[in-house]
Chain A
């Protein structure tokens, strides 16, 4: 088979069909092909950046011995673009992640009310009141009721609820207190505890000189509490 081609080439040479191109000229013609094509398309106004990339792929494929149609090149270019975009997104994500543990993209809806951290959205109570401790259960219940009523009056209906020690979660703050006998007088002491931090935010006490002053002492304390949590 090779002898057929060799002999044919000899004939071409002998009868001067062969016009051998110098190697440097051949290489130049191959190298300048894309540049020349780009120039012509630019002169004609039909050149675009994307088509330039397509030509790059077209010529590269040809060099590798692959004849690709422009439709195939468009698909290849689309795949390469998607790959580069994804790589860039992943790269940015991996770069940003160490600086920010939260999601790199946060959509903030300004109209939407910021959710409370520890409490369900439906919670409207400002404070929960635990039953007051007292020298007698009756005294404790009486002070609890008085403080609860006073706070409801000041803060408005639905802002105060009674809670137990076991379940404090529905409210942001809890009011605990006691009524104790100290010497001749009795004292009502209260503490406001922040549920989230479990810290005492506020403490106050009121002297009760007689049974008749219990209500007014409770009201004074309620005002202080209300001022604190408003």
Chain B
């Protein structure tokens, strides 16, 4: 394969991954910065780094969110001279729970992490379950129909509930 062909294949693969992850990264950065323009700039910075390295990366999602954390921290450091506590920005909400809520959250989190689903299914889960995107919006990001997204999301949720059942939570209503 010539260098030119390799570059063409690279940009095509990157374009597919970018279109899949960009809204997710942008939303996360926005939730940390609260500024749309900053979120756009930071997202661009993350994906410029990603473009150079994505061919060697195994888990794209984990890598992107790892870099996101560092780039957001650098952004805060550049904006203010004061020292920023990164944990306060990426605060684990589970720490705020008491009276058994924290344990339940950890169980749910583990169930979501442990289910064996494709990278695309995990993206669907994150868009809908974490960011409250509609099926239509997810469909337009991933190139699926609303029905396809709904069907796949239901299958993912069923898998999560199955794992929860294995962990002793027989009825989903018990968690509500």
The residues of A with any CB-CB pair to B shorter than 8 Å are: 1, 4-5, 7-12, 14-21, 25-26, 28-30, 32-34, 36-37, 39-41, 43-44, 46-47, 51, 55, 58-59, 61-63, 65-68, 70
Name B108-134 residues within 8 Å CB distance of A. Answer: 108-109, 112, 129-133
A7 neighbours in B (Cβ, 8 Å): 172-173, 176
A12 neighbours in B (Cβ, 8 Å): 129-130
Q: Across the interface, name the chain B residue whose C-beta is closest to A66.
A: B143
Asked if residues A28 and B36 are in contact (CB atoms below 8 Å), the reply is yes
Q: Is B101 an interface residue (CB 8 A)?
A: yes
State the CA gap A28–B38 with chains docked (Å): 13
The residues of B with any CB-CB pair to A shorter than 8 Å are: 7, 10-12, 15-16, 18-19, 22-23, 26-28, 30-31, 36, 39-40, 43-44, 47-48, 51, 93-94, 96-97, 101, 104-105, 108-109, 112, 129-133, 137, 139-146, 148, 153-154, 157-158, 160-161, 172-173, 175-176
State the CA gap A169–B129 with chains docked (Å): 92
CB distance from A71 to the nearest CB of B (A): 9
Q: Across the interface, name the chain A residue whose C-beta is closest to B104.
A: A15
Asked if residues A29 and B108 are in contact (CB atoms below 8 Å), the reply is no
Asked if residues B19 and A26 are in contact (CB atoms below 8 Å), the reply is no
Known contacts A9-B129, A12-B129; decide if A17 and B143 are in contact (CB<8 Å). Answer: no
State the CA gap A16–B104 with chains docked (Å): 12
Majority DSSP secondary structure for residues of A touching B: helix
A51 neighbours in B (Cβ, 8 Å): 11
Beyond A5-B154, A15-B108, A65-B146, 17 additional pairs, beta carbon < 8 A = A4-B161, A5-B153, A10-B176, A16-B93, A20-B132, A26-B23, A28-B26, A29-B27, A33-B23, A33-B141, A41-B11, A51-B11, A58-B15, A62-B143, A65-B139, A65-B144, A67-B144
State the CA gap A77–B40 with chains docked (Å): 30
CB distance from A66 to the nearest CB of B (A): 6
Which of B27, B109, B154 lies in contact with A26, CB distance below 8 A? Answer: B27
Asked if residues B19 and A59 are in contact (CB atoms below 8 Å), the reply is yes
Which of A9, A21, A43 lies in contact with B27, CB distance below 8 A? Answer: A21
B161 neighbours in A (Cβ, 8 Å): 4, 8
